[in-house]
Amino acid sequence: MIDIKKYEKLSALSLNPEEEEKISKDLEDIIGYFGTLKEVDTENVEPYVYTRGAKLFLRKDVKGKSLGKEALTKNRELFKGSFYRVKKIMGE
Partner 1 sequence: MDLLNSSIKELTAHLKSGKVSVKEATEAALTRIEKTEPKIKAFIRLHKDEAIKRAEELDKKKEKRGALFGIPIAIKDNMNLKDTETTAGSKILQGYISPYNATVVEKLKNEGAVIIGKTNMDEFAMGSSTENSAFFNTHNPVNTEYVPGGSSGGSAAAVKSNEVIAALGSDTGGSIREPAAFCGVVGLKPTYGRVSRYGLIAFASSLDQIGPFAKNVEDSAIMLNVITGFDNHDETSVQKNKQDFTHLLGKEIKRKKIGIIKEVSNFDIQEEVEDSLQASIDVLKDMGAEVVEISLPHLKYALPTYYIVAPAEASANLSRFDGVRYGLVEEGKNLKETYEKTRTTGFGTEVKRRILIGTFTLSAGYYDAYYLKASRIRRLIEQDFEKAFEKIDALILPTTARTAFKLGEISNPLEMYMNDIFTIPVSLAGLPAISIPYGNDRKGLPIGMQIVGKWFKEDELLQIASALENGGKNEQL
Binding region for partner 1 (CB under 8 A): 2, 4, 7-8, 10-15, 19, 22-23, 26-27, 29-31, 33-34, 36-38, 40, 42, 45-49, 51-57, 59, 67, 71-76, 84, 86-89, 92
9-37 in b/e form (b: 16+ CB < 10 A) is eeeeeeeeeeeeeebbeeeeeeeeeeeee
Question: In whole angstroms, what is the distance from residue 84 CA to residue 33 CA?
Answer: 43
Least distance to partner 1, CB of residue 51, Å: 5
Least distance to partner 1, CB of residue 82, Å: 13
